[in-house]
A and B are shown apart, each in its own frame.
Chain A
């Protein structure tokens, strides 16, 4: 049973946004922005961590099929939450997704907090954009919507390596953060899990004593770990607490 989607190097190197004139750096930033938005909406809606991760994964995958200039990141972020909540059997209503989004926006812009009127034109517009976005995502994915997450691998590995509570927790947090990048569509879950443990052990300076080359037990090479680590380093060099929105798509 092979459900995890890993994109080809060719696809990874030439993103649609790249071809559309968006710089690597801007694309990286806007992906972080969208994934953080998904996380914030997901937390307000009390979605479990794996549903948030599914939403972030399909968000990252989508922008390998379309340019961020063509399709608004905010819409796809909400559509990702909407679709992921169905895929993972934790459905949320569109009105709640929109209200959470509006809430996050109002906080970001220091506006007064007030919910959106569900009979307003603005609401109707956003709602129909999300529904269209959802359909469009399914279409772009060719209806392949299975996502396999590294969470269970990570816990298993930490257990068998007798990692401390702190190391396990740090690795778990790094794994959650990894969804802000395209790691989830570049590497198989086993490799991601090993890499997060490795990165965490370096970060908090805790040796994994059981076995020096422990990652080999889990079918991972040092090259792969270094590739993932590089992506993580690039991520943590950015401001991921409050990423800035970049306006790309044309205002309607």
Chain B
């Protein structure tokens, strides 16, 4: 048994194994310990574990969860992360917590900073959603779970191997190009998901949802209108565009969707939710957007309203 980490309670059950809260007896730090089973005899070490380790070792940013250690123990790989008390999904669902416009600005800024760091290192996260955004006791938001991530530079992009299906990103946060069967995509899929999270922070519930790809697409088109060749060149040649037919919808005015939101916020939001992936704003440009410079200023992380108890 590895004696360095003393397991405390279970804090999560991921697709690849259990996550424990644990105490590092060398540093007295509280950490998160993720146990990944090596899998069956035919597959060897889980490829998601390899991705996660590879990418987290490359990334080093306050808004990306820190990998502290990796070790083998019996049939498992154990990954040690810095411990974060909460995730954004729990925070959004907690009706006791109220967000001010400054709080939302602060969360979005941290999210985009983390995302920008990934993109600068040519890494697409591919699974942005509130439950993968952790928040530590100082209120700092951190991107986690790189088990689906991918190097953008990877030339195997063009291949149609099973890795590169459009089956990435949890359904509700999945960008329209993925839902329409596009197999070549870029950083835009992360930005779309970030936009969905933005909306969820404002509305305290998801604006796009559905149980199937078709339902999610309809949900998107009901809000943003049905795309066409003009606002999305290449739309008509996407794999599923010809198979599916959608009702012609007109976009809803964003001021109806978010009546309390400021104009700069709506402008940034609309740029994150562009149908055409190449028109979608980059994380870096989003951070330079006036929304983050204008009043009210983003709340300091330690003053975010999560840990009042």
Contacts and interface: CB of A to CB of B under 8 A. Distances in A.
Contacts, number: 64
B154 A89 contact: yes
A48 interface: yes
B72 A127 contact: no
A89 B71 CA distance: 22
B70 A128 contact: no
Interface string A88-130: 1111011100000000000000000000000000001001101
11 contacts: A48-B156, A83-B50, A86-B45, A86-B50, A90-B156, A90-B159, A91-B161, A131-B38, A135-B44, A138-B72, A139-B71
A135 B72 contact: yes
A79 B178 CA distance: 34
Given A89-B163, A91-B163, A145-B54, A139 B41 contact: no
A252 B27 CA distance: 44
Nearest to A144: B57
Nearest to B55: A146
Given A48-B156, A91-B163, A146 B54 contact: yes
Interface in B39-75: 41-45, 47, 50, 53-54, 57-58, 70-72
Interface of A: 1, 3, 48, 82-83, 86-91, 93-95, 124, 127-128, 130-131, 134-135, 138-139, 142-146
Interface in B249-306: none
Contact of A89 (B41, B44, B121, B156): B156
A127 B163 contact: no
B58 A3 contact: yes
Given A48-B156, A89-B151, A142-B70, A94 B57 contact: no
A39 B54 CA distance: 24
Contacts of A48: 155-156
B20 interface: no
A145 B161 CA distance: 23
B65 to A, nearest CB: 16
B142 interface: no
A139 B54 contact: no
B112 to A, nearest CB: 20
